[in-house]
Amino acid sequence: MPAAAITSLRRLHKAEAACTRCPLYAKATQVVSGEGPARARIMLVGEQPGDQEDKQGRPFVGPAGRVLDRAIAQARIERSEVFVTNAVKHFKHDMRGKRRLHKRPNAYEIERCRWWLDHERAIVRPEVVVALGATAARSLFGRPVPVAKSRGAEMKLEDGTLAFVTQHPSALLRIDDDAQKRRQYLRMVDDLRRAARSVG
């Protein structure tokens, strides 16, 4: 489908489903497009689909999604009013026996998939975008962005859209210390709350 014809989320999903811009489509079950209102004021961008997202065809429906849902609610944001998507639309993984283990997308894959994220942003036109983790930040800004140093700061994308950076909720799942996990979770809630306050 020509880029000029992609004027709605329905057409975008159809075009994404036929994507062969990088090799990741070959091993994924399906494409996982963004989800939410066509005129959402807040867009959350994650890294890529995980195992459950790949199976269900929807973003943030696995363990990280449950953490994100809880944080969104605590930040007093309605999930139904937010557009949720990923920087990379296919699940990148390695097989370990029968298990599919997440593998981080590389710079080439992020750049090839950025085309789709740009289309999502052009259609939805959010007032504020939140990058969940380093992969999302790299896709949005077109360069590596240190998450730890950028958290909490109001930033601008190339087109002037207000942007914030926070950690990916999956990072919380890898923290063993309960107190540290709680601190990092509350920081993410604060980051989301700050982003929500910046909306018109």
pLDDT tens track for 34-65: 999 999 999 999 999 999 999 999 999 999 99
User: What pLDDT, on a 0 to 100 scale, did the predictor assign at position 102?
Assistant: 87
Q: What is the pTM of this model?
A: 0.95
Report residue 15's pLDDT band, with 50, 70 and 90 as the boundaries.
Answer: very high
Here the tokens at position 29 are 């079950």
User: What pLDDT, on a 0 to 100 scale, did the predictor assign at position 98?
Assistant: 84
Query: Residue 135: is its pLDDT beyond 70?
Result: yes
Report residue 104's pLDDT band, with 50, 70 and 90 as the boundaries.
Answer: very high
Helix axis angle, 178-197 relative to 63-74, nearest 10°? 60
Query: Residue 9: is its pLDDT beyond 80?
Result: yes
Helix axis angle, 107-124 relative to 9-17, nearest 10°? 160
Q: Where are the domains of the chain?
A: 3-197
Cβ distance 50 to 99 under 8 Å? no
Query: Residue 109: is its pLDDT beyond 70?
Result: yes
User: What pLDDT, on a 0 to 100 scale, did the predictor assign at position 74?
Assistant: 97
154-173 pLDDT, tens per residue?
999 999 999 999 999 999 99
User: What pLDDT, on a 0 to 100 scale, did the predictor assign at position 186?
Assistant: 97
| 3-197: CATH architecture | 3-Layer(aba) Sandwich (3.40)
User: What pLDDT, on a 0 to 100 scale, did the predictor assign at position 101?
Assistant: 86
User: What pLDDT, on a 0 to 100 scale, did the predictor assign at position 1?
Assistant: 66
- Average per-residue pLDDT for the chain: 95
> CB-based contacts of 137: which residues, under 8 Å, 6+ apart?
131, 144, 145, 147, 150, 165
